[in-house]
Amino acid sequence: MKSRFITFEGIDGAGKSSQIAAAVALIESRGIPVVQTREPGGTPLGEKLRELLLHESMHLETEAMLMFAARREHLAALIEPSLAAGKWVVSDRFTDATYAYQVGGRGLDEVRFSALENWVHPHLQPDLTLIFDLDPAVAARRLAGTGNAPDRFEREKADFFERVRNAYLRRAAADPCRVKVIDASQTPDEIRKELQEILLESCFQ
C-alpha cells in the first residue's frame, strides 16, 4: 500500500493529541509501519527551535521563518525518508498550522506565507489532514483543566483563537478532498469513531 502522510490540526486544547495515539494504533493494527511526530519539532534541531518558538517573544516574520526552518529539517531528516521507506507518517501539525496561526492569528502576509510554503515543500502536501474544530472558550476550559503552565501561544486571547479557527476552516474549504473537519465538541469516543471512519475511507482503500 502507498505510504501516507497524515496531519492533525486545531486550536490549542481542541483535543487532537488525545486522538493521535488512536490513529497510530489503527494504522499499526493493519501491519503498517508508522512514524508519529510533531511540529514544531520532530528532529533534535526542530525540538530546540520549538523551545524558542513556544517561549521567546519574536517578530511575526521571525516566527514564521523559524516554523518553516524547523519544517525544512523535519522534511529532510524524518518525513521524506520515512515516506520513501514505505512508512506512514502521522504529524501533530504541519503547514496548515502556519496558515492558521501566523496568517490567520497574527496577520502574516499571505504572499509571504505562500512563498515559504512553495520554497520548503513545493510538491509535498499531506494526503489527509484532520482539523479538530472547537469553540475557543471550550478549548480554553479544557487547557485550564490540564493544570499545565501555558506557553506563548496558549496565553493568547479568545479573539486570536477565533481568527486561527476561521483560518483553519478557510483552509478546509479550499481543499475539501484533503482536509476533513471533525467536530471536537463530541465525546472522545464519538471522535475516535468518526476518525476511524475517515481513515478507513480515505487511506485504506
Ligand X SMILES: Nc1ncnc2c1ncn2[C@@H]1O[C@H](COP(=O)(O)OP(=O)(O)OP(=O)(O)O)[C@@H](O)[C@H]1O
Residues making up the annotated binding site for ATP are 10-17
Contact of residue 42 among ligand LXEULUCI, ligand X, none (CB under 5-8 Å per partner type):
none
Closest CA to 107 of 38, 152, 177, 163: 163
Q: What is the dihedral of CA 9, 172, 96, 112, to 10 degrees?
A: -160
User: What residues numbered 131-160 form the site for ligand X, per CB under 6 A?
Assistant: 142, 145-146
- 82 touching ligand LXEULUCI, by CB under 6 A: no
In this structure, are residues 162 and 32 in contact, taking their beta carbons and an 8 Å threshold?
A: no
- CB neighbour class for 197 (10 Å; exposed up to 12, middle 13-18, buried from 19): exposed
Largest separation between any pair of C-alpha atoms in the chain: 45
- 16 touching ligand X, by CB under 6 A: yes
Q: Which stretch binds ligand LXEULUCI (CB under 6 A): 25-33, 78-86, 93-101, 133-141?
A: 93-101
Q: What is the dihedral of CA 187, 125, 120, 16, to 10 degrees?
A: 10
In this structure, are residues 21 and 27 in contact, taking their beta carbons and an 8 Å threshold?
A: no
- 12 touching ligand X, by CB under 6 A: yes
The contact mask relative to ligand LXEULUCI for 17-56 (x = CB under 6 A, - = no) is ---------------------xxx----------------
Closest CA to 116 of 74, 163, 65, 150: 65
- 42 touching ligand X, by CB under 6 A: no
Binding-site residues from annotation? 10-17
- 121 touching ligand LXEULUCI, by CB under 6 A: no
Among 88, 101, 113, 132, which residue sits at the site for ligand LXEULUCI (rule: CB under 6 A)? 101
| End-to-end Cα distance, the chain | 9
Residues lying near ligand LXEULUCI in the complex (CB under 6 A):
12, 38-40, 67, 92-93, 97-98, 101-102, 153
- Residue numbers of the site for ligand X (CB under 6 A)? 10, 12-18, 142, 145-146, 187-188, 191
